[in-house]
Amino acid sequence: MIESICINGFKCFDNTTLDLSRITLLTGVNSGGKSSAIQALLLLSQNITSNELSPLNGHLVSIGSFVEVRNFVSNSKEFTVSVLKDNQRLSCKFKEQADICERDFTESDEDIKTLLNYNNKHFHYLSADRIGVKDIYDTNLDQADKYGVCGEYAIDYFEKHKSIPLDNELIKDKFSYTLESQLNYWLKYILDAELLTENILGTDRVKAQYSYQGSRKLRPSNIGSGISYIISALIICLSSKRDDLVILENPEIHLHPKAQSKLTDFFIFIANYGVQLIIESHSDHIFNGIRKNIFKKSIPQESIMIHYFEIKEGLSIPTKISINQIGQIENNKEGLFDQFDDDLNELLGL
């Protein structure tokens, strides 16, 4: 498990260390640094995976030139991204040389490289800009990316692997041990729906359909869009192995609050299995769902890490939010999911 990431001189970060755990929730104000923290980790993976002509632009992340992403407040001439795992460190330094961005691994642990090398398929990333409602999905022909960073191949992966049994610890539906049955258990739990897929013979396409509340089969465009947006996250998590690392951006897109809370139960289940999750979210229902699961002792308190991001004088200042064993916030921050209370107080004239 990655224990921490250190970011120096990159974008809105001066010298920042973020501790990670089995589930790490990144939340906070818009443009507060959440996505930049994820980009730093993606940069590291991207440069481990392949020797791109431009170290800052590739399959996982494209952020332009060095001058666009260096920290202007501290006037950094280089930036460094490091991660720590089992007391071993991997560090990569980026700097501009003759108008070209160069990168150099100053510390290089092989276990971390193995985990973060995207080709090894132990590190998975699902972008907020993921595939939404589609009736027909492309087949993954090159197999370079199991699911696609936008989830574009997740349905194809499901169709090819839906009959494969999962580990016993991932089984909730005892009727069948397959990926298909376990995915539909959770999809029914979260949204009362089921997924059905089939190859379209003679094409490189896969058809997806859903049944809702036990109804007839419906094409995705004739059912709520939240199902299409969440399905790739469910497939990726259930297909991941112990000690894999999964990054999910805004998993709550288009989901009703009740479904967001139930989705959090799913993430707790996956984390307890042994998959490390980094989740960027603006959802108070995911935040409170995590607190609820700590209170219920569904997950150990130490398996949760929450960082609240805000900007002060041009720099990102993340605060580690402490949740005690009964789910209470011990160091509340202004802006930490308090808008409901603020609006209610105004309505009541308080």
Residues 141 and 217 in one domain: yes
Cβ(42)–Cβ(60) below 8 Å: yes
Residues 117 and 248 in one domain: yes
Residues 223 and 248 in one domain: no
Give the whole-angstrom CA distance, residue 195 versus residue 32: 36
Last residue of one domain, picked from the residues 192, 209, 240: 240
Order of all β-strands in the sheet with 88-97: 15-19, 4-8, 78-85, 88-97, 100-107
Residues 25 and 103 in one domain: yes
Residues 4 and 112 in one domain: yes
Q: Tell me whether residue 239 is exposed, middle or buried, using C-beta atoms within 10 angstroms of its C-beta: 0 to 12, 13 to 18, 19 or more.
A: buried
| pLDDT surpasses 70 at 350 | no
Residues 249 and 341 in one domain: yes
The 10s digit of each residue's pLDDT in 242-298 is 999 999 999 999 999 999 999 999 999 999 999 999 999 999 999 999 999 999 999
Residues 180 and 202 in one domain: yes
The pLDDT assigned to 121 comes to 93
Cβ(26)–Cβ(38) below 8 Å: yes
Q: Tell me whether residue 285 is exposed, middle or buried, using C-beta atoms within 10 angstroms of its C-beta: 0 to 12, 13 to 18, 19 or more.
A: buried
Give the whole-angstrom CA distance, residue 114 versus residue 118: 9
Collapsing DSSP to helix, strand or coil, 200 comes out as coil
Last residue of one domain, picked from the residues 207, 240, 273: 240
Give the whole-angstrom CA distance, residue 126 versus residue 200: 26
Residues 192 and 280 in one domain: no
* Mean pLDDT in residue range 171-184: 94
Residues 115 and 226 in one domain: no
Residues in the chain: 350
| pLDDT surpasses 90 at 157 | yes
Helix (H) or strand (E) holding 40: helix 34-49
CATH of residue 90's domain is 3.40.50
The position carrying tokens 């992966």 is 157
The position carrying tokens 């431009």 is 54
Range of the domain at 170: 128-240
The 10s digit of each residue's pLDDT in 312-331 is 999 999 999 999 999 999 99
* Mean pLDDT in residue range 196-205: 93
The 10s digit of each residue's pLDDT in 202-256 is 899 999 999 988 778 889 988 889 999 999 999 999 999 999 999 999 999 999 9
Instruction: State CA 133 to chain mean position distance.
Output: 20
Collapsing DSSP to helix, strand or coil, 318 comes out as strand
- Please report which confidence band the pLDDT of residue 165 belongs to, taking 50, 70 and 90 as the band edges: very high
Q: What is the number of domains present in the chain?
A: 2
Q: What pTM does this model have?
A: 0.95
Residues 263 and 177 in one domain: no
| pLDDT surpasses 90 at 175 | no
Residues 104 and 251 in one domain: yes
Q: 113 CB contacts (<8 Å, ≥6 apart)?
A: 48, 90
Between residues 345 and 188, the one the model is more confident about = 188
**Tokens in use for 145?**
């990316």
Residues 253 and 116 in one domain: yes
Last residue of one domain, picked from the residues 240, 260, 293: 240
**Tokens in use for 270?**
């996956």
| pLDDT surpasses 90 at 143 | no
